Structure 1
Amino acid sequence: MNKHNSQTVLLAGATGYLGGYIAKALSQEQMATKLVVRSPQKLKALESKTVKIIKAEVTKPNSLIGVCEGVATVISTVGITRQKDGLTYMDVDYQANLNLLNEAKKAGVKKFIYVSAINGNKYRHLKIFEAKEKFVDALKASGLDYTIIRPNGFFSDMKDFLNMAKQGKIYLFGNGEQKLNPIHGEDLAIVCLQAINSTKNEIIVGGPDILTLNEIGEMALGALQKPIKIIHLPDCIRRFAIWALRTFTSSKTYGPIEFFLTLMAENQVAPRFGTRRLYDFFREQTT
């Protein structure tokens, strides 16, 4: 696999769910890698001949000066699920990535790989996507080679089903027949590494199993050895919930819930990839 060694990859977001798997994969492939992190001690274990850890904060452009020197490809999984520490989606998903992109341009980086989400463009009106897609626009206009990776939900997002299952009941909107194929971080990391040498500008990807929400609910209850209790709520309640959240709470609270409630209403099926199965993930989470 040494063909990669001449081109250094910089990864931002290595302490997140997906970033952790990408960092591991880069290290296993022995690719020359720089990991940009706020707290280096978290990734100490990955430091090696090929992996360098650099302390910097993507939200602070001055801390990024020079990080892209000698880098051929940047991979960014930088983003927040929930707004906290006074940081908004615009501060992180848009501005922090833009800080990195500006630094990449200055250093003559060839390619920038960014992980957004499936149908991001269609759902621009959602707080979470508004910032991500604004960055996608900037990336497309940057003049760099780029690949935008659009996963169809992570296994980690499906923990909401397990949390409901712990209470003994799964609540779904509509008939629960909406389909999706979420993907494990380990499988998605492979896609991100393949993107380094890919000529595609966009990769839409999901996991190997296309499941209905009813099936995911049953799996979550099954993993906890609970009887199957799935309650179907009329869709008007879901629409009212989104309206009420937008009206009466801050985007900090409603961002992730709005995202979940909107995407759960329709089929989200992506090209299938990978070998890791959701049922096994649920089992691992419950042991």
Structure 2
Amino acid sequence: MKDTNVLLAGATGYLGSFILKVLIERKNHVVAIVRNPNRIENDCENYLEIKTAEVTNPETLRDICKGIDTVISTIGITRQKDGLTYMDVDYRANMNLLDEAKKAGVKHFVYVSAINGDKHRKLKIFEAKEKFVDALKASGLIYTIVRPNGFFSDMKDFLQMAKSGRVYLFGAGNQKFNPIHGEDLAKAIVDTLDEYNKELTIGGPDVLSLNEISGLALQALEKPVKIVHLPDCLRTLTLWSLRTFTSVKTYGPLEFFLTLMAEDTIAPTYGKHHLEDFYIEEAKNLK
């Protein structure tokens, strides 16, 4: 798809930066909204316009969707910070964008949620995301809901653990995942901008167990493969303790991680980037 006017929210984030690159390569006209314009370079003024706005403040978004055909939002937080909650960002900020899109007559709204969000709506991270998904589906706009498996950037946690020479897993470590690189996901999203009212669940090309992911992380750091398997009952006890004794700011991301790591999370495979290569490249900065 090309020659389309696209508003991109979250252009400086991990996924957003890749989407911006792909959109411009395919000659789409992009309005990127950012909090800090210094975080983004404009080397393609024929195709890129940068606007400063704060998605949690609807006043800064007024008329921002004028002349826009498609809105793509990667807006969301993993860890609550700056006094903002999941509801403030994942739901309310995206609602601010949706309200402007409806007012301006935007045709298509693309929203990036996460895999199995609809099945785990009780998790604090997903509660806000899925509330927005419901609103988007009911908005009357053409929609695409993107549900990626974990990002390669999230998988760096295993590398950080591997630095100590051991990786700790709950249970047997046989649960399988296929995380996806941001560039692959960006291409998939832009490839499907002509497809309407759909949910795109997508993962990377390699389906790997937690044991295999841990092994790749250790090998990338040139360490012996030492994986410690903890009883799964400790995971459920940890979840209970976090929910009982800590704030959502603390337990939100850990609740998400500990819940999804307890089951197979396999999405349709896509892309050319492999986690092993990503780990080898990232490990150069950690040795």
| Shared fold per TM-score greater than 0.5 | yes
Rounded to whole Å, the distance in 1 between the matches of 2:40 and 2:27 is: 16
Rounded to whole Å, the distance in 2 between the matches of 1:110 and 1:255 is: 34
The letter for the 1-side match of 2:67 is: G
**In the alignment, what sits opposite 2:72?**
75
Rounded to whole Å, the distance in 1 between the matches of 2:278 and 2:245 is: 35
User: CA offsets per residue over residues 9-57 of structure 1, 9 Å max, x none?
Assistant: 1100011110011011112112111001111111124442111101111
Count, aligned residues: 284
Rounded to whole Å, the distance in 2 between the matches of 1:156 and 1:123 is: 22
Which SS does the other structure have where 1:44 is aligned?
Answer: coil
The letter for the 1-side match of 2:102 is: K
Show the 5 A alignment for 1:42-81.
Answer: 42-81=39-78
Alpha-carbon offset, residue 70 of structure 1: 0.3
Candidates 196, 206, 209, aligned match of 1:199: 196
Candidates 32, 40, 43, aligned match of 2:37: 40
The letter for the 1-side match of 2:251 is: Y
Candidates 156, 161, 174, aligned match of 2:158: 161
The reply on whether 1:136 has 2:122 as its aligned counterpart is: no
Contact 2:42 2:48 in 1 (8 A): no
Kindly report the root-mean-square deviation, in angstroms, between the aligned alpha carbons of the 2 structures: 0.9
The letter for the 2-side match of 1:220 is: A
Which SS does the other structure have where 1:196 is aligned?
Answer: coil
Which SS does the other structure have where 1:103 is aligned?
Answer: helix
Contact 1:179 1:211 in 2 (8 A): yes
The letter for the 1-side match of 2:40 is: L
Alpha-carbon offset, residue 200 of structure 1: 4.8
Rounded to whole Å, the distance in 2 between the matches of 1:157 and 1:56 is: 27
**In the alignment, what sits opposite 2:261?**
264
**In the alignment, what sits opposite 1:86?**
83
The reply on whether 1:145 has 2:142 as its aligned counterpart is: yes
Alpha-carbon offset, residue 283 of structure 1: 1.1
The letter for the 2-side match of 1:126 is: L
**In the alignment, what sits opposite 1:124?**
121
Alpha-carbon offset, residue 154 of structure 1: 0.4
Rounded to whole Å, the distance in 1 between the matches of 2:196 and 2:136 is: 15
Larger proportion of helix: 1
Candidates 228, 234, 239, aligned match of 1:231: 228
Could you list the structure 1 runs, at least 4 aligned residues long, displaced by more than 6 angstroms after superposition.
none
Candidates 23, 27, 33, aligned match of 1:26: 23
User: CA offsets per residue over residues 149-191 of structure 1, 9 Å max, x none?
Assistant: 0001101111110111011111111110000000000000011
**In the alignment, what sits opposite 1:275?**
272
Rounded to whole Å, the distance in 2 between the matches of 1:233 and 1:200 is: 43
The reply on whether 1:96 has 2:108 as its aligned counterpart is: no
Contact 1:114 1:147 in 2 (8 A): yes
**In the alignment, what sits opposite 1:4?**
2
Rounded to whole Å, the distance in 2 between the matches of 1:200 and 1:191 is: 16
Q: For structure 2, list consecutive stretches of 5 or more residues without a partner in the other structure.
A: none
Contact 1:113 1:195 in 2 (8 A): no
- Percent of residue pairs identical: 62
Rounded to whole Å, the distance in 2 between the matches of 1:10 and 1:90 is: 22
Which SS does the other structure have where 2:69 is aligned?
Answer: strand
CA 1:236/1:126 → structure 2, altered by over 3 Å: closer, same or farther? same
Rounded to whole Å, the distance in 1 between the matches of 2:222 and 2:255 is: 30
**In the alignment, what sits opposite 2:207?**
210
